Structure 1
Amino acid sequence: MVQIKKLFETNNQSNHHQIVGGDFELTSIPSNISDSYKLQKFGSVGTWTSSGRASLAILLQDLVKRGIEQIVLPSYLCSSILLPIRKIGLKYSFYNVDRNLESVIEPQDKSAILLIHYFGWFNKLAIELRKRSSSESFYLIEDLTHAFLSDWYTWTSSSEFVFMSLRKFGPVPIGGWCSYTYDDLPISKEIESLAWKSIAARLIRAQYVVEPSNWTDFDVEKFYLNLLHQVEVFLDQNPTVCKLPKIAYDLIMGLNWHQIGMQRRSNWLDLHTMINDKVDALITELPEDVVPLGYVIKCKNRDKLKDRLAKRHIFCPVHWQLPNIINEDNFPESVALSQQCLTLPIDQRYSFDDMARIAEVVQSEL
């Protein structure tokens, strides 16, 4: 392992990025991680695994043993959630998510309900469903991928089944976690190789983005993007229940998550102040216990705006391209969210100056 004297740079200094957004780059590999960096909120229970999909698979396997016959999913979701469900062979259906990310659902016997805490904010439907699941014959599963750095430990103190991916908030090569303790997870050489492939891609990207003269070297960009694509394809096709490799665990523990969360909140608030009256923001308030995934806006010409921003080196993810089974006939409001939402980057790599640039470019391209 490469020996270094410092962990990742996650401070508040401006990096003067001209490329904003995209996959997280990695500037160095931590070693000899101190126990003081461990994520206390995970406590002594739960299981670290290769991905959020694998973590969900662990929960589902346990619930099948408890007698569930189907899972009910939100109509606004990432299609990758379906992969472990289909792999296990579990029946599934959907409940409606409206334009305000709100839902009404009537639980069914011998079922599991999946609830997503969207973009880092607490999904208030959890309050009712937690209470009912304690006395009725269904189980509640909470997806905390977007709320990884929010105060979910308080939110879910009475929740039995929670899971998340850890790759949305930092340069984590692979990694997921669930609240179920799975003893003696197997070690996978393939997954360890995959972790190193992701690390290599992120190290290459770090060198690529730092110098504008590199941006015309499309072979380099194509190379690291291809490596990351290979990682995603493998995880999609193999929601493997195996132990998280040590290198990935060390990377997770080596990041200053508190500082990352503070910078994300600061950036969201700055960007909100700059453009709230110019755009249609999906969410307009930031509670003290929320660390946001991004600043989400709605735009009828979303795809055109996304392309225009990309041409100016601002890369924005879309949440989400829905599974084909979800369409305008059955879930029109969820489809509208899928077609109109654009997530502006506000992560820890960026500063006030970067938020000002994003605000200026977005306003000029609307």
Structure 2
Amino acid sequence: MKNNYSSKMPSIGGYLELQLPKGEELYPTLLKLNTGRNAFEYILKVKRYKLVHIPYYTCEVILEPLKKLGIQFQYYTINEQMDPVLDFVIGSEDCLLYTNYFGLKQETVIRLSKLFDNLIIDNSQAFFSEPLENVDTFYSCRKFFGVPDGAYLQCTSDIRLKLVKDVSVERFSHLIKSIDLGIENGYKDYIANNRSLSNIPIKRMSALSQRILSGIDYKTCKYRRNSNFMYLHDFLEEYNDYSFDASSVNGPMVYPLLLSSSEIKNKLLDKRIYIASYWPNVLEWTTNKMYEHYLTTHLIALPIDHRYTHSEMKRILNVLKTIL
């Protein structure tokens, strides 16, 4: 007998699926896309900028959409507060891309929004910083949570691209392995997943990533990040060469510790404390006399995310106390 039911009708029965909690995303009204770099590409496509000013101190994946669309770009430098050095003119068909570094630069974002109409904010490192009204802003979900991909976008243009939904099932193995086998055993899959996201087309966020993001306790995650950050800061502030205002932390990505020594990362690694590097490509773009070059080789991004409590922060400090 021919089945007259639509193939899109939800099934009933069968085996039990992976059980994930249902809730609400932090940014339910924003556009839901598959990657942060594709959210950036979305803005570039609808705004049709001719030239984009990008910081030297950024991830190389930012170049993907610029090269794909054939859009010219120029690098700019940042100062020791990680604010842009605005020694250039932004034309009517140009725009400024600024990174909310480590989720600590919201005041700079606000200041820039008052100076420039053609502004794009990269909140890949600032998931909990809400987008400012009338400012194009994008987020990368996997920088903050255990999802294979996913991005949010506030786009001020009325133009909307027609997109198909992405599928993330082939990018999920490192997340499962981290639970069953430990984070080290999933690392190879994690790297492979990162590579698989290169130059993929803009799509809507997958059902898997959206489901995971709908079940996160964002209030607790932000609280834990803030608490861990301040626990480290209370001790490390006097040693930190990077000075910032910690009075209004808002779910920061990491604790940025800037020291003259470039050997501390390896000593932390020996104790199974893994430190991300932001960003190796900057060494190719800059000279060793530039501040961005120094940041890349000397900034230690200490993990403070919601997986951890003060117990893990104390362990980090105990290692650092033997070095500082």
TM range (shorter): 0.7 to 0.9
Question: Any unmatched runs of 5+ in structure 2?
Answer: 1-14
Q: Say whether residues 1:169 and 2:132 are aligned partners.
A: no
Residue deviations 1:79-108, cap 9 Å, x none? 111111111111100111022212232432
Deviation at 1:325, TM superposition (A): 5.5
Task: Tell me which residue corresponds to 1:208.
Answer: 181
Say if 2:280 is the partner of 1:321.
yes
CA–CA distance in 1 between the matches of 2:284 and 2:89? 21
Count, aligned residues = 305
Aligned partners of 2:226 and 2:251 also within 8 Å: yes
Q: CA deviation at 1:289?
A: 5.3
Residues 353 and 289 of structure 1: CA distance in aligned 2, closer, same or farther (over 3 Å): closer
**CA distance in 1 between partners of 2:243 and 2:169 (Å):** 37
Distance 1:311 1:289 in 2: 30
Corresponding residue for residue 160 of structure 2:
182
What 5-or-longer segments of structure 1 have no aligned partner?
5-28, 216-220
1:299 match: 259
- The answer on whether the counterparts of 1:116 and 1:123 sit within 8 Å (CA) in structure 2 is no
Q: Which amino acid aligns with 1:30?
A: L
Provide the secondary structure at the position in 1 that maps to 2:139: strand
Contact 2:102 2:254 in 1 (8 A): yes
| CA apart distance, 1:185 | 1.3
Deviations along 1:49-77, whole A, 9 cap, x unmatched? 1110111110011121xxx2110011211
Percent of aligned positions with the same letter in both sequences?
Answer: 20
Distance 2:143 2:180 in 1: 21
**Equivalent residue for 1:62, pick from 17, 29, 46:** 46
> Structure 1 residue 142 and structure 2 residue 101: aligned?
no
Q: Does 1:104 align with 2:85?
A: yes
List aligned pairs for 1:138-287, cutoff 5 A.
Answer: 139-150=118-129, 152-153=130-131, 156-159=132-135, 161-180=136-155, 182-188=160-166, 192=167, 195-209=168-182, 221=185, 224-238=186-200, 240-277=201-238, 279-287=239-247
Change in CA separation of 1:265 and 1:126 when aligned onto 2, cut-off 3 Å: closer
CA distance in 2, matches of 1:322, 1:349: 28
Shift of 1:184: 3.5
Q: Distance in 2 between matches of 1:281 and 1:265?
A: 20
Shift of 1:261: 0.3
| Gap change, CA 1:69 and 1:319, over 3 Å in 2 | same
Q: SS where residue 120 of structure 2 aligns? A: strand
Deviation at 1:287, TM superposition (A): 3.0
> Could you tell me the TM-score, scaled by structure 2's length?
0.86
CA contact (8 A) 1:186 1:243 kept: yes
- Which of 46, 51, 62 does residue 81 from structure 1 map onto? 62
Instruction: Report the aligned-residue RMSD.
Output: 2.3
Q: Structure 1 residue 323: deviation in Å?
A: 4.0
**Which residue of 1 is the match for residue 294 of structure 2?**
336
